Amino acid sequence: MEVIEILQEVSKRIYQNVKHLAGTEDAAGDFGRGAGGDISRNIDIIAENTVLDYLKEIKFDCVVLGEECGRVELSQNPKGFVIMDAIDGSANSVRGVPFFCSSLAFATENRLSSITDGVITDLSSGEMYRASKNKGAFWNDNKIQVHDKDPIYKIVGINTSGATPELMQKLHPIFEQHNHTRHFGANALEMAMFARGLMDIYIDLRKKIRIQDIAAGYLIVKEAGGLLLDENFESLDADLSYQTRVSFIAAANQKILDDIFAEVK
């Protein structure tokens, strides 16, 4: 089985196991703080266990880097890392807001740039986004590309959740311009939608995104032809440590990037 097939299969299993849970009291059960620093909810734990059980069942030689469970070594001879955010958009999933997903990626080394495969599954609909290095990005069976043309409506995804007053002040011109700003609450799914061309740019400069929230989106955006930059407008890369937090901008092309940031100081 190819790595991408493993990630796809396990994503389908997560969907089966959590699709009736979102918005129920059962989803919310509190399991204390996970490795990523947030409270682990029952729905997070069920989704993570689905992944761990399947990887054990097929004896996949890897180290899992889970948002809740932390580092789990499933083999003495790992082929690489499975970077797992089994539920991205946990708050939405617990409240029943139909915008949350699973995000699974495989990396051969300790860096984002070594990611070879990524799968993001919309857990409200079961729709799947995937990419393998140099093989393109897909939404279900359709090849996808970022929206590399002049948009009729300029859709600007921008994550402002918990942003500081200083950051809000800095980003103010983006809100003031004639943009249609959007924020849905699940970073990975927003990156997937950007890759599919539903947004022209997606911005998160809060320095809060964990490796688990971004790993699969990293490859899907790149394979869909997007620019993926850090806060200094350099190509985004980072190590896979639990301490790492990133800021990033995913842009369909240089022109939209320049337009949107023209007034940002």
- Residues in touch with Ca ion (CB under 5 A): 67, 85, 87, 90
Distance in Å, CB of 250 to Ca ion, minimum: 19
When CB distances are held under 5 to 8 angstroms depending on the partner's kind, the choice from Ca ion, ligand IPD, none that residue 95 binds is none
Count interface residues toward ligand IPD (CB under 6 A).
14
- Measure the CA–CA gap between 80 and 112, rounded to whole angstroms: 12
Asked whether the beta carbons of 5 and 19 are under 8 A apart, the reply is no
When CB distances are held under 5 to 8 angstroms depending on the partner's kind, the choice from ligand IPD, Ca ion, none that residue 238 binds is none
| Binding to ligand IPD, residues 245-264 (CB under 6 A) | none
146 to 156, 197, 223, 230, 247: CA distances (angstroms): 13, 4, 9, 18, 20
155 binds ligand IPD (CB under 6 A): no
Burial of 15-26, coded b for 16+ CB within 10 Å and e otherwise, reads bebbeebbbeee
Tell me how far apart the terminal alpha carbons of the chain are, to the nearest angstrom. 49
Alpha helices (runs of H) in the chain, residue ranges in sequence order: 3-18, 25-28, 42-57, 90-95, 165-176, 187-195, 211-223, 254-261
Q: Of the two residues 89 and 118, which places its CB atom closer to ligand IPD in the complex?
A: 89
**Closest of 84, 253, 242 to residue 154, by C-alpha:** 253
Q: Indicate if the alpha-carbon torsion angle 14, 19, 22, 25 is positive or negative.
A: negative
Q: Of the two residues 47 and 131, which places its CB atom closer to Ca ion in the complex?
A: 47
| Binding to ligand IPD, residues 57-96 (CB under 6 A) | 67, 85, 88-90
Q: Of the two residues 133 and 245, which places its CB atom closer to ligand IPD in the complex?
A: 245
187 φ/ψ angles, rounded to the nearest 5 degrees: -50, -45
When CB distances are held under 5 to 8 angstroms depending on the partner's kind, the choice from ligand IPD, Ca ion, none that residue 161 binds is ligand IPD
Q: Of the two residues 133 and 183, which places its CB atom closer to ligand IPD in the complex?
A: 183
Contacts with 241 (C-beta within 8 Å, 6 or more apart), sequence order: 110, 211
Q: Of the two residues 11 and 90, which places its CB atom closer to Ca ion in the complex?
A: 90
Distance in Å, CB of 61 to ligand IPD, minimum: 26
Distance in Å, CB of 3 to ligand IPD, minimum: 22
**What 3-state DSSP class applies to 145?**
coil
Q: Of the two residues 217 and 226, which places its CB atom closer to ligand IPD in the complex?
A: 217
Provide the token pair at 107: 């990396």
| Binding to ligand IPD, residues 159-218 (CB under 6 A) | 159, 161, 185-187, 208-209, 213
Distance in Å, CB of 38 to ligand IPD, minimum: 5
Residues that bind ligand IPD (CB under 6 A): 38, 67, 85, 88-90, 159, 161, 185-187, 208-209, 213
